DNA sequence: CGGTACATTGAAGGGGCTCAATCCACGTGG
DNA sequence: CCACGTGGATTGAGCCCCTTCAATGTACCG
């Protein structure tokens, strides 16, 4: 048997978490190994099943390895708000992981693979690999920033702007983990769920999507979104800032 | 001169940050000292002035010592969304502190005192006091959770529910730092700003407040909010969960 | 005493919701 | 192989909450 090429040579073989973190902070081989070690115990969850249920206790921090999920809450009268979409490489259980019971439910949008990180490992990480811990810390900051951006969406943007912004954010996030090409991707959710995420009714989401199609900004065929005019869409959604692109660790953290 | 009583005996002499963190994790005297040391360089910001301006670079993590502030963004066409209210003991600059430029602006609602924590100190904290770092980490989780709750507010609650929820959240947070008594507090912002926070027009905020007054749930006189029927208000706002009360460090973290 | 900032209230209008019907793609079992 | 069932997309009618615009009131301050 000849020497095997290093596995990390092919980006598709890197787990999504490592891939995501490596975008911003260069990781040493040792750190990559630690990350890989964190994601040992995996478990499969079927579509439409809860990965975590609000109010229940749960084991620790989870990482989504494969598939997609949504974080949501339903109010007493049945209204539902989707807080965000969870993609491979994202943590599940933040911000809830420091509470004694889950604050929100997480449901699988497709068949998913998740991996649990016990609290004990996490604490050890804080002490043994402060730089890695800081990087994870920082990825939580990104998540908080996405909540804030989502809030602006729902609070101050029209239906068309919201949908446009939503499609762009998904494009950017999926590209970051290699699940979208230059301008298209597979939509992981239904229009009803988009409505619950953007606080719009299903008919309104449909209407907004049709408008975007008629304006030749996007095309959607069979759940595949194709961005036809990125510039136009970004202008409409006030996405010029492309805040996701500005996700860069402050200099002091990347060194040290 | 006789022996002086320990300063920490009087809770009013403890800085708000320590007071906030001590609610959940008991801090050693050494850790209290470290926290105090972090908040050395203070600076005063006048009412209506920006503490941090969106897009600008800035020094590090700030802590609000005194007064109140708001985190906001204005869109190109002038619409403004207030993301949250910053109270004494809260960090300013999260989640932005890990980005190279500020994501949002922070404006002082009254004359405020802030203190800067240089990045270098923060990194040292990660290594020398992992338990303290974890506690701060956790306080960020609370903040993210408040964003999520705010999102549900704006997305799925009616005007009355939103205002009720907003008043209750403020009560809870102000009580935590000793700035509200059992059922009343001084409102730190105008109705216009409440509208920008809850994505409501000023007339609607006013209307909702009047309804709450007419239903004898609250009384407001001269900017002072008096909760007259906490139960009723909580029921209306779906605040039963009192999520802020569930802010408890997971057991593993409190020990260690 | 005038001026500014904020609160209050009303009239008119629109964007999005609810309710409901229809359509389409797909899988499944008879 | 086709009828049927199901989940999702599409589209329309009527309505309501909330917005915009505007006027007025009121407290405080220089």
pLDDT tens-digit profile of A95-104?
666 677 788 9
Domain containing A229 — which CATH number?
1.10.10.10
From the candidates B52, B82, B96, B99, which should be mutated to test the interface with A, based on the most A CB atoms within 10 A?
A: B99
- Decide: CB of B161 under 7 A of nucleic strand C: no
Distance A219 CA to C25 C1' (A): 19
Looking at the fold, whether B109 and B190 belong to one and the same domain comes out as no
CA distance B131 to B128: 9
Last residue in a domain, options B111, B141, B171: B141
Q: Are residues B207 and B170 in the same domain?
A: yes
Spatial distance between the Cα atoms of A98 and A60, rounded to a whole number of angstroms: 9
Residues A177 and A62 in one domain: no
CA–CA gap between residue A48 and residue A187 (Å, rounded): 16
CA of A222 to C1' of C26 (A): 12
CA gap A65, A115 in Å, rounded: 7
Residue A110 beta carbon within 7 A of nucleic strand D: no
Output the six-digit token pair for B14.
């403890």
Q: Which of the four pLDDT bands, split at 50, 70 and 90, describes residue A250? A: very low
A166 and A110 co-located in one domain: no
Q: Are B112 and B64 in contact (CB under 8 A)?
A: yes
Residue B23, classed as helix, strand or coil, is coil
Distance from CA of B11 to the nearest CA of A (A): 26
Which pTM was predicted?
Answer: 0.88
Residue A220's beta-bridge partner residues?
A: A225
Q: Are A40 and A72 in a shared domain? A: yes
Q: B1 vs B4, B6, B13, CA distance in Å?
A: 8, 15, 21
Domain that holds residue A210: 158-237
Domain count for chain B, please give it. Answer: 2
CA of A115 to C1' of C16 (A): 41
pLDDT attached to residue A98: 67
Q: Is residue B19 domain-resident?
A: yes
Residue A82 pLDDT > 60, yes or no? Answer: yes
**A27 against B227, higher pLDDT:** B227
* Residue B248 confidence (pLDDT): 52
How confident is the model over A93-131, as pLDDT tens digits? 776 666 777 889 999 999 999 998 887 787 788 778 877
Q: Are residues A167 and A103 in the same domain?
A: no
The structure tokens 């009384």 sit at B219
CA A103 to chain centre: 18
Pairwise pLDDT comparison (B180 vs A78), residue with the higher score = B180
Say whether both B135 and B167 belong to one domain. Answer: no
Distance from CA of B31 to the nearest CA of A (A): 17
> For B159-170, what is each residue's pLDDT tens digit?
999 999 999 999
In DSSP terms, A131 is beta-bridged to none
CB pairs under 8 A between A and B: 160
What the block records as the tokens of B142 is: 């609370």
Q: Do B99 and A126 touch (CB under 8 A)?
A: no
pLDDT score of B68: 96
Do A13 and A108 fall within a single domain?
yes
Give pLDDT, residue B12.
Answer: 52
Q: Are A35 and A21 in contact (CB under 8 A)?
A: yes
DSSP E strand stretches across chain B: 41-45, 50-52, 61-66, 69-74, 80-86, 91-92, 105-108, 112-117, 184-186, 218-221, 224-227
Residues on chain B touching A130 (C-beta within 8 angstroms): 123, 126-127, 130
So what's the pLDDT on residue B204?
A: 96
What sign for the dihedral angle of Cα B53, B54, B55, B61? positive
Nucleotide whose C1' lies closest to the alpha carbon of residue B161: D17
Query: Which of A98, A238, A250 is opposite residue B141, by nearest beta carbon?
Result: A98
A98 and B253 within 8 Å at the Cβ level: the answer is yes
The answer to whether the Cβ–Cβ distance between A148 and B97 falls below 8 Å is no
Domain co-membership, B12 together with B112? yes
Residue A241 CB partners (closer than 8 Å, separation 6+): none
Average pLDDT score over residue span A163-181: 92
Q: How far is A79 from chain B (nearest CA, A)?
A: 7
Q: Which residue has the tokens 């509200």?
A: B180
pLDDT in tens, chain B (256 residues): 444 444 444 455 688 889 888 877 778 898 898 888 888 788 999 999 999 988 887 767 899 999 999 999 998 888 899 999 999 999 997 766 667 778 899 999 999 999 988 877 877 887 788 778 878 877 888 888 889 999 999 999 999 999 999 999 999 999 989 899 999 999 999 999 999 999 999 999 999 999 999 999 999 988 899 999 999 999 998 876 555 555 555 444 444 4
C-alpha–C-alpha distance, residues A44 and A69, integer Å: 12
Residues 154-183 of B with CB under 7 A from strand D: 158-159
Instruction: Yes or no: say if A149 and A220 are a contact pair by the CB < 8 Å rule.
Output: no
Please tell me the predicted confidence (pLDDT) of residue A13. 61
What's the distance, Cα to Cα, between the start and end of chain B in Å? 41
Q: Can you spell out the DSSP letters for A101-131?
A: S-SSEEEESSSEEEEEE-HHHHHHHHHH-HH
Residue A190 CB in 7 A reach of strand C: no
Q: Which residues contact A208 (CB under 8 A, 6 or more apart)?
A: A159, A160, A162, A163, A200
pLDDT greater than 80 at residue A243:
no
pLDDT at A225 over 60: yes
Which residues have a Cβ under 8 Å from the Cβ of A243 and sit 6 or more positions away? A145, A149, B103
Q: What pLDDT does B225 receive?
A: 95
CATH number of the domain residue B33 falls in: 2.60.120.10
Tokens of B133: 């770092």
> Looking at the structure, do residues A107 and A200 belong to the same domain, yes or no?
no
For residue A166, the surrounding DSSP H or E stretch is helix A159-176
Contacts of B133 in chain A (CB under 8 A): 126
Residue of B nearest to A82 (CA): B152
Residues A135 and A17 grouped into a single domain:
yes
SS3 B106: strand
- Does some domain include residue B246? no
Å between B64 CA and D22 C1'?
39
Q: What is the mean pLDDT of residues A164-175?
A: 92
Asked if pLDDT for residue A4 goes beyond 70, the answer is no
Comparing B29 with A12, the larger pLDDT belongs to: B29
Pick from B149, B239, B22: which is nearest to A147 by CA? Answer: B149
For chain A, give the mean pLDDT: 84
- pLDDT at residue B80 in the model: 93
Say whether B156 and A101 touch across the interface (CB within 8 A): no
Residue B120 to residues A101, A146, B62, B128, B131, Cα–Cα distance (Å) = 34, 26, 13, 12, 18
Of residues A252 and B49, more confidence is placed in B49
């Amino acid at each position: 048997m000849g020497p095997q090429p290093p596995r990390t040579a092919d980006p598709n073989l890197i787990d999504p978490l490592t891939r995501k973190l490596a975008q911003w902070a260069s990781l040493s081989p040792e750190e990559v190994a630690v990350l890989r070690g964190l994601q040992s115990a995996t478990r499969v969850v079927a579509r439409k099943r809860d990965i975590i249920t609000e109010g229940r206790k749960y084991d620790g921090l989870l990482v989504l390895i494969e598939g997609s999920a949504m974080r949501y809450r339903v109010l007493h009268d049945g209204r539902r708000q989707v807080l965000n979409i969870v993609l491979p490489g994202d943590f599940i259980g933040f911000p809830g992981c420091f509470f004694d019971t889950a604050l929100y439910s997480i449901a699988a949008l497709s068949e998913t693979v998740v991996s649990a990180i016990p609290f004990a490992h996490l604490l050890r990480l804080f002490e043994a690999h402060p730089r890695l811990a800081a990087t994870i810390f920082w990825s939580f900051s990104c998540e908080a920033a996405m909540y804030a951006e989502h809030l602006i969406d729902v609070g101050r943007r029209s239906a068309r702007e919201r949908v446009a912004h939503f499609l762009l954010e998904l494009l950017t996030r999926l590209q970051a983990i290699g699940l979208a090409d230059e301008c298209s991707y597979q939509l992981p959710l239904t229009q009803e769920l988009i409505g619950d995420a953007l606080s719009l009714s299903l008919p309104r989401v449909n209407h907004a999507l049709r408008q975007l199609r008629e304006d030749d900004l996007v095309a959607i065929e069979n759940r595949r979104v194709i961005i036809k005019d990125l510039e136009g869409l970004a202008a409409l959604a006030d996405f010029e800032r492309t805040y996701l692109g500005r996700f860069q660790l402050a200099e002091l953290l990347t060194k040290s």
